[in-house]
Each structure stands twice: as structure tokens, then as C-alpha cells.
């Protein structure tokens, strides 16, 4: 993955083959418009309310306060031309131990501190976590100010304070609140986003899982080979490549369990085979997508549609724009998002 991630500020890298993305998406739609998955794709799009006749380009990530290299993909989907339909998938079936973000600070030298906004020792999935309380948000605001006040560049603190004042009321679940906050802070209103948990609760996904499991050992053996290609841990004896969720916590699914929720490879397989016509990864997901390509061939018996990846590196200007802090993981709301949007010129030229 390190080879894919740019090191210089403002540098963006992408790859989706020698053709334009829209041409690849249309080719993917044509290839999957016939064959055993065509009817399921049609029903899924009707169930999800997608506009007919437009190639669907999707991307996604866990609903966290991410760095701008991930927001870059949301900006990309947001400015797609009208003939395409962009969809962001909020992977709210993940279960991190803590929900938070790193903050820079200056002591004798520059360092960073990970601010935990919500502790999650029970490892509940993100969809089961409520939005932060006003008290938590106010406590986080004070801690953010304390750390950023140590920097020379006051603009970073000003951006953080402005963003915190614009956060939506803390209502509903964490993913819904966060996606609403990102839309407000980044100007992403109108971009369709889908919850991975909600996707797994559709009729289309239930049918998809039944079709895969109906293939028996063929599917399970294909999954084991795919996991090896992707560098993902193999299943333990008796496990299926799905989760079950009980009390907000996910557990490996076994035969007879239900309802089922996708793991990483089965989620991307569902998205690429059923939901969209072209999937756009970040640098991390690009490393395991050859495993999903293997599932298409070995389990579904079809050639996989094209996919691509897009990522960028943006460094904080400290103490000035001429000297940038190392580390690309600081959250998007500390950055000048105009720089991120300007960096889209390159990948947009390859549409």
C-alpha cells in the first residue's frame, strides 16, 4: 500500500486502466446486463431507488473523522457529470475499539495525540453507536483547542473551531450524524450515501447471500483463495464469510445463522456485482481487490467488471505553507478543503 500512497503535499494518484472511468462503467453495466446476475441487479437498483439508465459509480469507507485523502473520493463522486450517479457507502458494520482522530501538537518537538471521542470497549458496530452527546462534543472542542493552540499556524485552530460550530445537532446514530456533518462541512449535500448495514438488510442482499451459499464448497473454497490473495485472515472451521450481529456486536456467521451481514470481501463483491457499475477504492482497499476479482471468476463464473483507486496526501501547513507537518492522517476539518478540491483536476481529466 505504501507504494500507492503519495508522499508530497497535494499529490494525488489514481489508476483505473487506459480508458476513461465513464466508458469503463458503461462497459461494466453492459457486461452484467445479461447473465445470471442481471435480474438481481435490476431488482436491487429499483429497491435502492437508483435512477435508471445512468452508470453507478460507488466508493466508501468507515464513518470516521477521516483524513482529506479519503474525503477526496467523496468530492470526486459529488462532481461527477450528470450522466453518472455517484454513491458513497458508509461502512457502518465495522467495529473499532475507539472513535476518534489524531491531533498535532508542539512540545519540544512536533508530535501528535489521538483524541478519543467515543470509547467502544465492547466493540459494537458503528451503526449501533449513538451520536455523541453535547457534553462529549464540548469536551472534545476544549481538547482540540488546547492541542492546536500549541502550533504556530493559528489558521489550523480557526478552521477546527469553525467546523465544530457548524456541526449538526447530535441526533440519531453515529454514522447518520457523521455523514450529515461531513456533508455540511464539506459541501457534499446531494451526494447519495448508503449504510452498509442497511444494504445488508435489503431483499437484494439476502438473495445475493443465498445464491452464494447455495454454491456450497465451490464458494467457500473460492473465498479461501480470495482471502489469501487479499492478505485477509482465513476463516476458522465452520465459519462463513459473513457476520451476524447480536446486541450491536458482530460475530462470525455459521451455517443456519441469520440475518447475515457482509465481511470486507463479500461487501465489495456485492457492491461490484449487484449495486454499481464501477467501484472506486482508496489505496488500502486496492490491495485486496484482486481477491474480489478471483471471487468473480471462481465463484460467480464471470469476468469481473473494472475497478479503480484514488488517493491523495495533504499535509498541514505548520509553521507556514512553506513547511508542512509530516503525517497525512490528521482529520479533514483541520485542512483547507479548497486545496483538496483543486487536486481533483487530474483524476477528473481521466473520466
* Predicted confidence (pLDDT) per residue in 172-225, tens digit: 999 999 999 999 999 999 999 999 999 999 999 999 999 999 999 999 999 999
As a whole number, mean pLDDT of residues 280-296 equals: 92
Determine how many CB atoms are found less than 10 A away from the CB of residue 197: 20
**329, pLDDT greater than 70:** yes
**294, pLDDT greater than 90:** yes
Determine how many CB atoms are found less than 10 A away from the CB of residue 42: 14
Q: SS3 of 64, please?
A: coil
Nearest-angstrom CA–CA distance, 58 and 272 = 9
How confident is the model at residue 17, as a pLDDT?
A: 82
**91, pLDDT greater than 70:** yes
Give the cell for residue 96.
Answer: 473499532
C-alpha 334: how far from its chain's center?
20
Which residue ranges make up each domain of the chain?
11-93+195-311
What pTM did the predictor assign? 0.96
Nearest-angstrom CA–CA distance, 350 and 345 = 9
Q: How far is CA 97 from CA 118, 188, 224, 247, 343, in A?
A: 9, 28, 27, 16, 33
* Rg of the chain over all Cα atoms, to the nearest angstrom: 21
**327, pLDDT greater than 70:** yes
How many residues are present in the chain? 351
As a whole number, mean pLDDT of residues 232-258 equals: 96
**284, pLDDT greater than 90:** no
How confident is the model at residue 1, as a pLDDT?
A: 45
127 secondary structure, DSSP code: G
Tens-place pLDDT, residues 4-36: 899 999 999 999 987 899 999 999 999 999 888
Q: SS3 of 317, please?
A: strand
How confident is the model at residue 18, as a pLDDT?
A: 76
Amino acid at each position: 500500500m505504501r507504494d500507492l500512497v503519495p508522499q508530497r503535499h497535494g499529490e494525488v494518484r489514481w489508476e483505473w486502466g487506459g480508458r476513461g472511468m465513464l466508458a469503463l462503467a458503461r462497459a461494466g453495466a453492459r457486461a452484467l446486463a445479461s447473465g445470471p446476475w442481471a435480474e438481481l441487479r435490476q431488482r436491487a437498483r429499483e429497491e435502492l431507488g437508483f435512477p435508471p439508465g445512468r452508470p453507478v459509480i460507488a466508493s466508501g469507507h468507515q464513518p470516521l473523522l477521516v483524513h482529506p485523502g479519503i474525503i477526496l473520493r467523496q468530492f470526486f463522486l459529488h462532481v461527477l457529470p450528470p450522466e453518472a450517479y455517484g454513491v458513497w457507502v458508509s461502512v457502518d458494520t465495522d467495529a473499532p475499539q475507539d472513535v476518534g482522530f489524531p491531533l498535532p501538537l508542539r512540545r519540544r518537538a512536533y508530535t501528535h495525540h489521538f483524541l478519543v471521542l467515543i470509547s467502544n470497549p465492547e466493540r459494537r458496530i458503528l451503526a449501533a453507536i449513538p451520536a455523541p452527546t453535547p457534553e462529549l462534543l464540548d469536551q472534545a472542542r476544549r481538547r482540540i483547542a488546547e492541542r492546536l493552540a500549541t502550533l504556530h499556524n493559528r489558521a489550523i485552530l480557526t478552521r477546527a473551531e469553525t467546523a465544530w460550530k457548524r456541526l449538526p445537532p447530535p441526533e440519531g446514530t453515529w454514522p447518520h450524524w457523521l455523514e450529515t456533518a461531513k456533508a455540511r462541512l464539506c459541501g457534499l449535500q446531494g451526494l447519495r450515501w448508503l449504510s452498509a448495514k442497511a444494504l445488508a438488510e435489503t431483499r437484494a442482499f439476502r438473495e445475493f447471500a443465498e445464491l452464494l451459499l447455495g454454491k456450497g464448497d465451490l464458494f467457500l473454497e473460492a473465498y479461501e483463495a480470495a482471502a489469501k490473495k487479499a492478505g485477509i485472515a482465513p476463516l476458522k472451521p465452520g465459519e462463513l464469510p459473513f457476520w451476524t450481529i447480536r446486541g450491536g456486536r458482530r460475530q462470525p456467521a455459521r451455517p443456519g445463522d441469520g440475518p447475515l451481514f457482509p465481511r470486507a470481501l463479500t461487501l465489495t463483491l456485492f457492491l461490484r456485482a449487484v449495486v454499481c457499475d464501477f467501484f472506486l477504492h482508496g489505496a488500502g482497499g486496492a490491495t485486496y481487490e484482486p481477491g474480489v476479482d478471483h471471487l468473480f471468476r471462481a465463484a460467480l463464473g464471470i469476468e469481473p467488471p473494472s475497478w479503480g483507486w484514488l488517493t491523495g496526501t495533504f499535509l498541514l501547513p505548520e509553521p507556514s505553507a512553506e513547511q508542512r507537518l509530516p503525517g497525512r492522517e490528521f482529520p479533514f476539518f483541520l485542512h483547507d478543503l479548497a486545496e483538496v478540491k483543486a487536486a481533483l483536476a487530474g483524476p477528473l481529466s481521466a473520466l
